[in-house]
A = this chain, B = another copy of it.
C-alpha cells in the first residue's frame, strides 16, 4: 500500500474522530439541532465581512504577491498581546500562520525531532495526537483533575520523561471551559524548570490560546508566557470571528525567552514556515488583521446562551462544569454512559460531542455557537433524558 508509517499512525489517531464526523453528517436532518462543532449557525459577523471586503480591491501591483508575515499584522498582534498579557511583545516575536493549526505545526517543526515526546492534556483537543503522529512525535497524555478539570501540575510532572520536549496547555480549555490562574502557571513553571534541569534538556511550553478572548463574567486571563520564559503562544482568529474557514492565526515567542533563544526563533521561524508548506495566511486575511483585532462574536449573547443552558441542565440534575471561557459546555451524561446518551439525543435530532472522543466516556460537550432558538429546541430533550424512564 501507499501510506507511510507516520501517515498510518496519524490516521489511527484521528480515525475515531473521522468516523464520528461521518456519523454526524449522515445523521443530519432539517429539524435537527447540531451542537457538535464550533461552526457558525448564523450569518458571518458584519465586521468580518467588511474587513475582508476592504482588502479585495488591489491598491498596489504586489497586492497578491508572495507574503511572509506582513508588518502591519505583526504590529497589530504585538500591540494586542502587550495590552492583553502585559508582556513586552515586539512585532518580530510574531509569526503569522494559517490559523492555530499552522502555528502548532510550526512550533513542532521548530522545536522537536522525531521520537520526541509531547505532553498533552486529557481531556483535550482531539487533533493534538494526529498532528504529533504525522511528524513522528509521541503524544503523552497528562490527566486533568477528574472532578474540577483543573490543570494537574503533578500529573504533568509524572508524564515528563527524558524525551519530553514540549508540554501543551490550553486555557480557556476545550472541552471543559476552564480558565487557569497565574498561580497554576507559576507552579507549572517550577515543575518544568526542575525537569529541564534534571534531564539536561529544555522543555518548552506551547500555550494553545485560541479561546483567549472568549471568557465570561469578567474573569481575568493569565498566559503561561508570563510565568515560564520558554513559552510559545499559538492563537487563531477562527474562534473569536467564528470563521474557521478563513485561516488566520499566529505563533508568538514569549518576550521573557532568553535573548539567544528569542533571537534564534525570530530568525528561524520564517525559513521554517517556507519549509513546512509556505505556512503564511493569505494576503487578504493578513491585510485585514488590524481591523479584525477589533471584531468579535457577541459575548453578551454567548453569555446569555451559556446561562440559559447551564441553568436548565443543572436545574434538571445534570453535573455541568460551569464554563469560564470557550463556547463549550462540558457535562456528565445521565447514568454515566456518554455513548448511550449521545445515541438517545441523536434519535431526538440533537447532536452533541460524545466524551469518548476526548477519552471521557462519561461526558458530553455542547457547543454554544448554536442559536438560542436551536438551544431552546434542544433543552426539553436534555431535560427529559435527565430522568430515567419508567
Q: Which residue of B lies closest to A272 (CB)?
A: B7
Q: Which of the candidate stretches A53-61, A295-303, A378-386 sits at the interface with the other chain?
A: A53-61
Tell me which of B5, B15, B53, B243 contacts A64 (CB under 8 A).
Answer: B243
**Most chain B CB within a 10 A radius of its CB, from A57, A230, A241, A246:** A246
Chain B residue contacts of A2, Cβ below 8 A: 110-111, 202, 204, 230, 261, 264-265, 268
Contact count band on A? 35 or more
Q: How far is the CA of A366 from the CA of B116 in the complex (A)?
A: 43
**Given that A2-B264, A18-B271, A104-B277 are known contacts, is A58 also in contact with B49, CB under 8 Å in the complex?**
yes
**Does A58 lie within 8 Å of B37, measured CB to CB?**
no
Tell me which of B53, B261, B279 contacts A277 (CB under 8 A).
Answer: B279
Tell me which of B204, B230, B278 contacts A101 (CB under 8 A).
Answer: B278
Is there a chain B Cβ closer than 8 Å to A333's Cβ?
no
Q: How far is the CA of A113 from the CA of B134 in the complex (A)?
A: 10
List A residues 1-60 near B (Cβ within 8 Å).
1-7, 10-11, 13-15, 18, 37, 39-44, 48-49, 52-53, 56-58
**Given that A6-B109, A64-B44, A276-B105 are known contacts, is A282 also in contact with B246, CB under 8 Å in the complex?**
yes
**Does B49 lie within 8 Å of A98, measured CB to CB?**
no
Is there a chain B Cβ closer than 8 Å to A363's Cβ?
no
**Given that A1-B264, A111-B2 are known contacts, is A283 also in contact with B56, CB under 8 Å in the complex?**
no
Tell me which of B1, B37, B130, B268 contacts A275 (CB under 8 A).
Answer: B130
**Most chain B CB within a 10 A radius of its CB, from A7, A43, A56, A284:** A7
Given contacts A18-B271, A106-B277, A246-B284, 7 further A-B contacts (CB under 8 A): A6-B114, A7-B111, A10-B271, A11-B268, A39-B62, A52-B56, A130-B274
Could you show 16 A-B contacts with beta carbons less than 8 Å apart?
A1-B260, A2-B261, A3-B265, A4-B110, A6-B109, A10-B109, A39-B62, A40-B62, A43-B61, A49-B57, A49-B58, A65-B243, A105-B277, A131-B276, A131-B277, A284-B284
4 closest A-B pairs (Cβ-Cβ)? Answer: A245-B283, A105-B277, A101-B278, A64-B243
